[in-house]
Copies of this chain bind each other. A is one copy, B any other.
């Protein structure tokens, strides 16, 4: 029996149809939190989107904060899991920045709202950032840092530039998903469409390739 993860919220055991409603609530809340951020999202909006009255939310989550935490956990959990699995299992290219970047794009493309949630958090949560985010962010960046250090072409960079380089790659990826709604509003193009996502993945591959390869090209 695998150890149950620390179930911090969910006051009610949630019966059969209750579990389904909880899921719908999470979907609605995810969308709204991703669009507007925590404080601009009201529970009445969430409830309306679900099609219930707002006090009914309390049958499934004990507070707005708990709902928010549940949304984050549901989204971040699988991504982190898949990512660290990919990184740890020593499968081909798990140490190659380009392939890691590609994998991240793949994972986020399936949860395109997560980057916006993270962006809202990193914007508003300067000091009091969600514990969850703190917990994964530091190790993930540390790992990326190490990966860059041992990548080909690392000698091009000053050691103290590597954190900046990692941040830059992070922002390219997160920023892309984050700006998608605005970009569509301004230009009409959907950055989350399959074609656009492919373009972005290809671009990312080329950028990483251009930055993490010794100046002479060594195709493999």
Of B156, B178, B202, which one neighbours A161 at CB under 8 angstroms? Answer: B202
Indicate whether A182 sits within 8 Å of B125 (C-beta atoms), given known contacts A176-B167, A210-B210. Answer: yes
Whether the Cβ atoms of B123 and A203 lie closer than 8 Å is: no
Whether the Cβ atoms of B37 and A186 lie closer than 8 Å is: no
Whether the Cβ atoms of A158 and B199 lie closer than 8 Å is: yes
Whether the Cβ atoms of B161 and A167 lie closer than 8 Å is: no
Whether the Cβ atoms of A35 and B171 lie closer than 8 Å is: no
Whether the Cβ atoms of A203 and B168 lie closer than 8 Å is: yes
Contact-residue size bin, chain A (C-beta under 8 Å from the other chain): 35 or more
Contact with B along A156-190 (1 / 0, CB 8 A): 10101101110110111011101101110111010
Which residues of chain B come closer than 8 Å to A125, judged between CB atoms?
A: 182
- The smallest beta-carbon distance between A101 and chain B, in angstroms, is 12
Whether the Cβ atoms of A164 and B203 lie closer than 8 Å is: yes
Which residues of chain B come closer than 8 Å to A92, judged between CB atoms?
A: none
Which residues of chain B come closer than 8 Å to A218, judged between CB atoms?
A: none
Of B120, B126, B163, B174, which one neighbours A35 at CB under 8 angstroms? Answer: B126
Q: Can you list 8 pairs linking A and B with CB atoms under 8 Å apart?
A: A37-B37, A37-B40, A129-B182, A129-B185, A167-B179, A168-B207, A171-B172, A172-B172
Task: Other than A138-B186, A158-B199, A164-B203, give 15 A-B pairs with Cβ distance below 8 A.
Answer: A35-B126, A37-B39, A40-B124, A116-B123, A126-B185, A129-B182, A129-B186, A137-B186, A161-B203, A163-B189, A167-B176, A171-B171, A171-B172, A174-B175, A210-B211
